[in-house]
Amino acid sequence: MTVQRDPELREAERRWLNGDSALPVVTILVSRGANAEAAAVARLALTRPDCLDAAELEAALARIAASPPGWAQALASFAESPSPEAWCELMRFVPPEYAYQRMRDTIRRLRKLGVSARILHSRASFT
């Protein structure tokens, strides 16, 4: 998708790059249907230790990935016992149109919960 970089978006990006929150950039991109771009900005912003509006950016990622109610608890349960069967159950009903964003968000969250990259690679490759 081509995102029109009008003054509103450019100003929000400028502020973010100068230390302000990325949330306005993410909000503008989502409102324009640029969900992949919005998710990329949110993920990048969340890598900063002093990320402003981290909770709101996490919520935006969950909305973009269409995470169902109880998803955080399902991820915590998986992190405790990351078996291939648990992975299949976790990803079983992901709608195809949300598969990419859900996979990106799931892997990022599971890494934060301490699941090793090696395990995640083997499970995600299994899908």
Q: Over the stretch 49-105, which tens digit does the pLDDT of each residue have?
A: 999 999 999 999 999 999 999 999 999 999 999 999 999 999 988 999 999 999 999
Tokens 């599971």 map to which residue?
Answer: 110
Percent of the chain with pLDDT over 90: 89
pLDDT band at 1 (very low <50, low <70, confident <90, very high): low
Written as six digits, the tokens of 48 are 């900063």
Q: What is the pLDDT of residue 63?
A: 95
- Radius of gyration for the alpha carbons in the chain, expressed in angstroms and rounded: 16
Calpha distance 41→26 (Å, rounded): 7
Calpha distance 74→90 (Å, rounded): 7
**How far out from the chain centre does Cα 17 lie?**
20
Long-range pairs for 82-86 at CB < 8 Å and ≥24 separation?
A: 82/110, 82/115, 82/119, 82/120, 82/123, 84/122, 84/123, 84/126
Q: What is the pLDDT of residue 53?
A: 96
Q: What is the pLDDT of residue 4?
A: 76
pLDDT band at 5 (very low <50, low <70, confident <90, very high): confident
Q: What are the sequence ranges of the domains in the chain? A: 1-64, 68-127
Q: What is the pLDDT of residue 20?
A: 96
Percent of the chain with pLDDT over 70: 96
Buried b (16+ CB within 10 A) or exposed e, 78-114: bbeebeeebbeebbeebeeeeeebbebbbbbbbeeee
